[in-house]
Amino acid sequence: MTRLSGEDYNPGLLSQPPSSSASLASPVDPDLRNEPPPSALPGRPMRILMLAPEPFFEPRGTPFSEYHRIKALTELGHHVDLVTYPFGSDVRLPNLRIIRSARPPFLSSVRIGPSIAKLALDALLVVTAVRQARRETYDAIHSHEEAGLLGVWLARRLGIPHLYDMHSSLPQQLTNFKFARSRLLRRAFEVMEDKTVFGSDVVITICQDLQDHVHRMGAGERAVLIENVMGGDVEDPPQLTPASIRDRWQIPANAPLVLYTGTFEHYQGLGLLFDAMGIVATGRPDVRLLVVGGRPEQVEAARTRALHAGAPAIFTGYQPAREIPAYVAACDVLASPRTSGTNTPLKIYSYLRAGKPIVATDLLTHTQVLDLDTAVLVKPEPALFAAAIRGLLDDPPRRERLGRAAAERARARYSRESYVARTRLAFERLAAAAAPADPSSRA
């Protein structure tokens, strides 16, 4: 893995791609065109230019998804040049090269979701991506999130196929993150999503709701459903044990322990969880809630909120991804209190594999993966969520049954083997789109 910096480039030589629909239909640019590469055939390794408008790597949703996608691609023999933000930890994988865009002087991080900061970072990512496309020859473009439209434009200019990795619906992000209520902005996002999906040769969707969404758009033939079954897991061996987790955070060995892992964005429902745990603690004063994740300022705000609710919460802040399985194993009940959105939380797949009982809200975000055989599902109300947690804490045999069923579901439906196989299918379709048409098939 090689790390390059955007500062190595001269961005003044480049301009951003046109935004009009006419530009997306433009012929191949003779200055950018790649010669038809022999590797762009089904079953052969491809050189992929991947565009990821996120801090890679950070332990949160989309970067985790990108990490596992890249890992599967490199295992399948493909080479990935990843153009990404200037923030994040370097990851060492065979056949992966990380190329970072320039960092604006006023930014040292970026929060999840749409923001003004992301506009500046995305503009610099455009410069770096176009520069890299001019420097080297690629067989395909693979873009994530809002880089999809750039990927479509760039692939057409290069005369190569494009794959869009659809982690969410762009218009829905405006609602999920409460970014803006402007109808005009929402319509702009809808047009952007439409041009991205229909301009792509293959669209990967990461949950059933997005797969259904692409079908409703009329582009179902392009879509391949590849759920994020690896969740937030990485394959580095953990250094901690369940016992050491309890020791580190001064949790008695016999104390009932409920776990939440993930980000602290408002849609995750932490307020619901704190209120519920305050109720549980009135009847089970020995119970503890272990909360893993969150930026320092988020943790302080959440600590105040939990104290107000009477929740016996212990906050760890961000922890290395490799240690998360030990945190999961140390706990008795796993909670996912998400209150909005439709994408399946990555933690759900990790929770299933852990073989521990799950309490989650009875919303599509969970029910497209979980059911009553594998989890306790309740309406997003504190009293109901509390009753579900308390019921499991008081019923060890039921916890055991649900945990076994969850682990079996993970083995049967959400294995890494199926993930890699569907990744192979998506890229076989992409390579087929790049292959020259069979003259005998022409009229």
Q: How far is the C-alpha of 70 from the C-alpha of 56, rounded, in Å? A: 12
- According to DSSP, the residues that pair with 163 across neighbouring strands are 142, 202
- Going along the chain from its start, the domains and CATH numbers come out as 3-229+417-436 (3.40.50.2000), 242-414 (3.40.50.2000)
Span 240-270, pLDDT tens digits? 999 999 999 999 999 999 999 999 999 999 9
In order, the DSSP letters of 281-311 are: HHH-TT-EEEEEB--HHHHHHHHHHHHHHT-
pTM, entire model: 0.81
Residues 6+ apart with CB under 8 A from 63: 52, 54, 55, 56, 57, 88
Q: What is the DSSP letter of 332?
A: S
Mutual orientation of helices 208-217 and 183-198 as an angle, nearest 10°?
90
Q: How far is the C-alpha of 36 from the C-alpha of 257, rounded, in Å? A: 58
Span 127-138, pLDDT tens digits? 999 999 999 999
Structure token digits, residue 185:
């902005």
At 333 the three-state DSSP class reads strand
Span 179-212, pLDDT tens digits? 556 778 888 889 999 999 999 999 999 999 999 9
What pLDDT, on the 0 to 100 scale, is given for residue 439?
A: 47
Mutual orientation of helices 270-283 and 382-393 as an angle, nearest 10°?
50
The lowest-confidence range among 279-283, 347-351, 439-443 is 439-443
- CA angle, corner 261, sides to 257 and 266, nearest 5? 115
Q: How far is the C-alpha of 101 from the C-alpha of 127, rounded, in Å? A: 8
The average confidence (pLDDT) of the chain is 87
